[in-house]
Structure 1
């Protein structure tokens, strides 16, 4: 049996972990119902365990979100970059989420940093680009779909040869492809409505400070089946 490895890059808020599970568990919850019999799930905490074994020892790679910032260049995070470059060069299937999205873009020659418009939180509309419509993974999604988001940093400059697959009014780089089977997304396909609600509750003061209405954001939380389906569709490439 081969493994799909979930690279853990951070922890969710304690109240989220207590009620719904940590970041890696949210991925496992979404994937477990669609996992083929030949595939198992493995979690690797890059902050505690260091660089994983050779990328080719895995059938696929997913990278979680984190409350860390890619631009702070923490040693464990920087150590992952050559490993991610190797995975890309060897065409190992990859899907990075939020921090994982920003880290992959940074590893491949882009720039991830604080977004000048501030934090994006809540359930937002995301739109496919023309390239997204033609992409083997993203073509399964509708042109417009809802996605859960919480991030202060974004991919501010694309890596060479990256293709933009989705965008929205806040972020021009909501989804990227770097190679035949290597993607990343700024939004959180693993989040559920209760998890998104818990994040906005925690961020209420910060959101008010930047002129947002947290109660309106909570009222606007919806299901995001299309975005969540990406995780399961990705299994086809492993």
Structure 2
């Protein structure tokens, strides 16, 4: 497989990064556990760093971020334009959390604050009837979530592949080359706990405690990581 281009959209504070790495580090470690032969290239798009060409890559992975997809920062506006171009050129793209949201925002959808507030901890994603490539309707997979925004209007031609009780648009596809997830297959339980601790006051005690308690539940991140790689295999 050609290298995967990781579009990094955040810089984790040193206090967290020393123990857990930056988001590209988390994705690289997780994906190498699925396929040890993978190669990657990192581009800090939040600092407006981009490859000169995507011809030598199997596709683009857009990470999570503390920023909002509807913010008007210059780098966010530029990323949206890049997403439009990549989509029109049928470049394989996978978006996670903020990546999921900004793909829809860029392509004509809408992102807003979730009506229920923060969504943290382990959440169960239930497949919809159109997600036949991934399993039977009603099958579920568990991922860690950490967000207060969510997609409230799909991009044209997008399909909802899975929903959670808190997030109706939890997994989507746009055509054959774009796959997105609101949940985090790259997060470890330790990092999720550290992030919840950091945001405890903002999250609120009942949601925080339920999120922490849920971290004992089984996860299906390896399954999701393989689904992500299946998209990049199309870019060979």
TM-score by length of 1: 0.89
Q: Which residue of 1 aligns with 2:33?
A: 33
Q: Which residue of 2 aligns with 1:2?
A: 2
Asked if the contact 2:128–2:138 (Cα under 8 Å) also holds between the matched residues in 1, the reply is no
| Dislocated runs of 4+, deviation >6 Å | none
Q: Which residue of 2 aligns with 1:175?
A: 171
Q: Which residue of 1 aligns with 2:21?
A: 21
Q: Which residue of 1 aligns with 2:226?
A: 232
Does 1:148 find its partner at 2:144? Answer: yes
Q: Which residue of 2 aligns with 1:111?
A: 110
Q: Which residue of 2 aligns with 1:162?
A: 158
2:182 to 171, 180, 186: 186
- Distance in 1 of aligned mates of 2:153 and 2:141: 24
Seen in structure 2, the aligned counterparts of structure 1 residues 41 and 51 have a Cα distance that, compared at 3 Å, is: closer
Q: Which residue of 2 aligns with 1:81?
A: 80
Q: What per-residue deviation string (whole Å, max 9, x for no partner) do you get for residues 113-157 of structure 1?
A: 21222111111122111112x13xx33998122210111111111
Alignment of 1:86-97 (within 5 A): 86-97=85-96
Seen in structure 2, the aligned counterparts of structure 1 residues 9 and 90 have a Cα distance that, compared at 3 Å, is: same
SS in 1 for 2:165: coil
- Distance in 2 of aligned mates of 1:108 and 1:222: 37
Structure that is richer in helix per residue: 1
Residues 6-15 or 48-57, more deviating: 48-57
Query: How many residues were matched structurally?
Result: 232
Shift of 1:109: 0.6
Asked if the contact 1:30–1:232 (Cα under 8 Å) also holds between the matched residues in 2, the reply is no
Q: Which residue of 1 aligns with 2:135?
A: 139
Shift of 1:181: 2.2
Seen in structure 2, the aligned counterparts of structure 1 residues 117 and 45 have a Cα distance that, compared at 3 Å, is: same
Asked if the contact 1:2–1:40 (Cα under 8 Å) also holds between the matched residues in 2, the reply is yes
SS in 1 for 2:86: helix
Asked if the contact 2:120–2:207 (Cα under 8 Å) also holds between the matched residues in 1, the reply is no
1:214 to 203, 208, 212: 208
Q: What per-residue deviation string (whole Å, max 9, x for no partner) do you get for residues 178-198 of structure 1?
A: 011211111111111111111
Residues 158-167 or 197-206, more deviating: 197-206
TM-score by length of 2: 0.89
Note the aligned Cα RMSD (angstroms): 2.2
Where does structure 2 lack aligned partners over 5 or more consecutive residues?
none
Asked if the contact 1:190–1:228 (Cα under 8 Å) also holds between the matched residues in 2, the reply is no
